[in-house]
Structure 1
Amino acid sequence: MAAYTVNGVDYEHDEEGYILDVTNWNEDLAKVIAVEEGLDMTDEHWLVVNFLREYYNEYQIAPAVRVLVKAVKKQFGAEKGSNKYLYELFPYGPAKQACKVAGLPKPTGCV
């Protein structure tokens, strides 16, 4: 099994890079995953990542992109809650890539 190594600790992940145990997530691990994904994390990225973690804690599911866009729009307004904005932050798919950085399972409906 593949793993990310952060501060001497290994965090196992699947073949696509999603960590296997969501309870092991931490910001240092997220930074390593972000680098692997080619992302330079800004406050805007962290806003989405933390939102996703809260969403997962409440609903026990990683949202598909449509649900994510709607939920972000409701929480943070139309400017941040748009496909265009979220794809600028996470070009390989706002739900898929952001969930990976957030340490969540791959969203349902993502192939």
Structure 2
Amino acid sequence: MMIKKIKKWNKKYAINVAKNEGIKMQSKHWNIIYFARNFYLKFNMSPPIRILLIAINKKSQKKINSFSLIKLFPKNPSMQISKIAGIPKPNKCL
């Protein structure tokens, strides 16, 4: 199985991708993007939304759910998070 290499990524890259997606990055967005990137770097796979929500809610006092993600990433949370984070989309991403 061939593993896709992570794209050359930096904050400017993420802001440009987010802008193309119609998203103005705020701290809530960055928390999710950094989590997704770190997860990918550690496990060599993009985090499924369910795992992402569980892990973020363990660390944060302000709980989020799938509806919160849709508000932050309205077109398709899995796809938009992956694009902005510069990582491959999750395997079970629609």
**TM-score, length basis structure 1:** 0.73
Please state whether the residue corresponding to 2:40 is helix, strand or coil. helix
Contact 1:68 1:95 (C-alpha < 8 Å) held by counterparts: no
Alignment-derived partner of residue 8 in structure 2: 24
Partner deviation per Cα, 1:70-92 (whole Å, 9 max, x = no partner): 22222224623x11111111112
CA distance 1:77–1:96, change in 2 (3 Å): farther
Q: How many residues are treated as equivalent by the alignment?
A: 91
Unaligned runs of 5+ in 1: 1-19
Cα distance change on mapping 1:95 and 1:74 into 2, 3 Å: farther
Counterpart selection for 1:76 from 55, 60, 70: 60
User: TM-score of the superposition, structure 2-length normalised?
Assistant: 0.84
Structure-2 residue corresponding to 1:44: 28
Distance (whole Å) between structure 2 residues aligned to residue 109 and residue 102 of structure 1? 17
Contact 2:7 2:87 in 1 (8 A): no
Gaps of 5+ in 2: none
In structure 2, give the amino acid aligned to 1:79.
Answer: K
Aligned partner letter, 2:43: Y
RMSD: 1.7
Paired residue for 2:39?
55
**Alpha-carbon offset, residue 40 of structure 1:** 0.6
| Shift, 1:56, TM fit | 0.9
Q: Percent identity?
A: 33
Instruction: Indicate the structure whose relative CO is greater, using CA pairs within 8 Å and at least 6 residues apart.
Output: 2
Higher helix share: 2
